[in-house]
Amino acid sequence: MSDAAPTAAPAPASASDARPRIVADGPMAGWDAVETASRVGAGEVTAAEVLDAALARVDAVDAHIGGLFHLDGDRAHEVLARRQRSGDTDRPLHGVPTAVKDLDQLAGMPTTFGSRAAGGHLSRRTDAPVRQFVDTGLIALGKSAAPEFGMTPTGEGLGFVPTRNPWDPDHTVGGSSSGAAALVAARALPIAHAVDGGGSIRIPAACAGLVGLKPTYGRLVEDEDMRGLPVKVVSHGVVSRSVRDTAAFMAAAERTFRNPAMPSIAGVDGPGMGAMRRVAMITESLTGPVDPEVTEAVERTGSALEALGHRVEPVALPFPASLTEDFLLYWGALAQGLTASGYARVGRAFRPGLLDPWTQGLAAHFRRNLPRLPLAIRRLRAFRHRYAAFTERYHVVLSPTLGTLPPELGWLSVELPFETHRERVERFVPYTPAWNVSGAPAVSLPMARSRSGLPIGVHLGAAHGDDRTLLELAFALEASAGFNVPLG
User: What is the rounded distance in angstroms from the CA atom of residue 80 to the CA atom of residue 75?
Assistant: 9
Give me the pLDDT at residue 178, please: 98
Beta bridge partners of 396: 279, 462
Query: Of residues 176, 178, 285, 413, which has the active-site annotation?
Result: 176
Cα diameter, the chain: 62
CATH class of the domain at 13-486: alpha beta
Give me the pLDDT at residue 465, please: 97
235 is catalytic: no
Taking the CA atoms of the chain, what radius of gyration do you get in angstroms?
21
Q: What are the tens digits of pLDDT across the range 149-192? A: 999 999 999 999 999 999 999 999 999 999 999 999 999 999 99
86 is catalytic: no
Give me the pLDDT at residue 364, please: 97
Strand 311-314 to strand 396-400: parallel, antiparallel, or no bridges (unpaired)? unpaired
101 is catalytic: yes
Query: Of residues 38, 101, 214, 232, which has the active-site annotation?
Result: 101
CB atoms near residue 71 (< 10 Å)? 17
Query: Of residues 14, 177, 178, 200, which has the active-site annotation?
Result: 200
Give me the pLDDT at residue 155, please: 98
Positions of the chain with pLDDT under 70? 1-17
Give me the pLDDT at residue 15, please: 43
Give me the pLDDT at residue 5, please: 35
* Residue 127 to residues 1, 71, 100, 134, Cα–Cα distance (Å): 26, 19, 11, 11
Which secondary-structure segment (H or E) carries 462?
strand 455-462
Give me the pLDDT at residue 1, please: 28
